[in-house]
Structure 1
Amino acid sequence: MKTVPTLYEWAGGMPVFEKLMASFYDKVLQDPLLEPVFKHMSPDHRLHVAHFVAEVFGGPKFYSTAEGSHFKMIQKHIGKHLTEAHRKQWVKLLVETADTLALPDDPEFRSAFMAYLEWGTRLAVINSSLEENPLGTNEPMPAWGWGVPGGPYIPS
């Protein structure tokens, strides 16, 4: 029986997620729309986001065991008043970075990757207009998988 890798494994593991977020946030800080939102981020922000996304995609629980929780990630967006323009530009730059770094571009991986980006960024915009976190402090971390395709594209 063939084992289906996690999205984290298929992408290449933690070094890929850490490099993705480091390169991505370099672009964010050069972007006129996003720079004002992120210019005061902590020096650890890139690494925390890398660990969060890696964990969501089936990687090690670095974020939830040592850096934060789903509640704390949502809390960072409360009251930020993000717009649809912010969301679209954030996704655009992250996808461009994924392409530049040659993350897997098979249809199944990119479908799952894009679905998570769409879901997560739309929640971020919704939560950014709130004054209080809608989650409980013990809310579990999201877990993202392959979705409808059911696994990676492997040419025959």
Structure 2
Amino acid sequence: MQNMKKKVNHNGEVPKQKERHIVTWSQEEDDILREQIRIHGTENWAIIASKFKDKTSRQCRRRWNTYLNSDFKKGGWSPEEDLLLCEAQKIFGNRWTEIAKLVSGRTDNAVKNRFSTLCKKRAKHEALAKENNTSHINPNNKRVIFQNGFSADGLSETETPLKKMRYN
């Protein structure tokens, strides 16, 4: 078992973890949210949240941006959007709300999630590229051509070549 350090607050106490509970929305609450946004707009979520007995301003904003607002795109990402996202992240860092303003039609959460996905894909691609560029010499002295176009004099039994050629 791992030895995990617990965070301690300024009084030397371990703070209690916040309980997470699933927030459900009824059709009636969705209708109220739509009406409040029609009246107040989307600049002051505290006013909108005050119309609900058990919803926070953050929950209202997320419900609107993630599920109800038809202005936001919910489908796949284009290569142009991916490029814009990567360039904006270099400039703004992880300020997803600022980046979302540049990537038209995407929420801050969608932008953050897409960037995370792109990073994972890039890391996987780089690992595969590194793996494909390594070669080993085996005792059979067979010439090997790899899928990446490189050749080697030998191949370990764990690697699979595209084609084996023998020199006579």
Same fold (TM over 0.5): no
Report the structure, 1 or 2, having the larger strand content. 2
TM-score, normalised to structure 2, is 0.24
TM-score, normalised to structure 1, is 0.26
